[in-house]
Structure formats: C-alpha cells, structure tokens
Structure 1
Amino acid sequence: MQTTETQVEVSAEMERRLELLRKHYGLPNTTAVIELLISRQIERSVYEMTGQRPGPRLAIDNTKDEHDASRDHPEQLPGAGAGQPCARPPGRTRGT
C-alpha cells in the first residue's frame, strides 16, 4: 500500500491539544497522534456500518535477526547438563 504525506495547518489551540495527547499516549510526535485519531475514527465508522468491532492487533517483533539459529537446531543449544552423561541408565526409573 502506498501512502502520501499531506501538510496540515492547525490552530494554536489544536496544537496544544495534540501535544497533550502526545504526552498522554507517549507518542514521538503530533503526527503520530493524528494518525492514531484517524485510525480510531476509521474503526468506529467500520463498526457503525458492519456492527463488528475490529479484532486484536498483532504485535510483530522486528528487532530480532531474520535468521535465528535456535529455531533451526534447538537440540544443539547448550542447556543444563548439556554434554553430560545421563545420571541413570536408560530404561530404569527412580526407585528401582
């Protein structure tokens, strides 16, 4: 999806309100506040038209490397007792 940027001029009062919302939501700038408000308005309009609320949003962690070795070979990761021989002979259970 391609997006375009649009310059918007706001009054001093509106700028003050946007700044208060920015601080409240912990957003980096007032542009993010406007985007949040637009998104919520779209969700509200969809709900009014369809009667369905939007589902949960997925959080995607894009901070990890694309190639995670632990997913490829989990048995090769060192853990407690890795490389140590088994304390009990195979086939025997505790108490026998």
Structure 2
Amino acid sequence: MKEAVTILNQALLTEKATMLSANLNKYSFVVSSSASRTNVKDAVEKTFGVSVLSVNTLNAKPKSKRDRTRRNKEGFTSGYKKAIVTLEAGDSIDLA
C-alpha cells in the first residue's frame, strides 16, 4: 500500500464540498490519479482516525484556458482525481 501522504493531495474546499460536509457527513479530497477506493479509505482512516463508510471517485476533466499575453494561445488546466468520502455518523474531520 502507498503511504497516506502520497495518496491524499489536498482537501477540496468548495461551496458544494462544504455543503456536503455540513449536511451529509461527506468530505472531498484531491487524490493521486493512481489511487484506488481502498487506498483512499485506508489513507483517510489512518490520517484522521475516523471510520469510512464509502468512497466515491471521479476524474475531473481539464478545462480549456486562454493566455492573452502570448497571442491568445489556448491551453488546458491539469485534470485531477477527486474522492468523496462518507464517514460514519458521529465522526467528523476538521479541515479548517
């Protein structure tokens, strides 16, 4: 198994992720592109000391961007893999 540090890149703090954590006890993380659901589950349980019920993963596609300083060249942002982790009732993670 990979180390938890290499699997969990950062917590995803968006408006939707904050709403999910407040209402449904779900937390979002940007994870390594090669991480599986079981790797993410083990990393969250080991890092935060909580019990994980389920893990949903998705690959966020890169978005196109324009660079106006270099004659309107078009490029892309990098894509990433996102994991939404559902915790058992009574468990919580302090991401602040």
Q: TM-score, normalised by structure 1?
A: 0.20
Task: Give the structure with the higher percent helix.
Answer: 1
Task: Give the structure with the higher percent strand.
Answer: 2
- Whose relative contact order is higher, 1 or 2, with alpha carbons under 8 Å and at least 6 apart? 2
Larger radius of gyration: 1
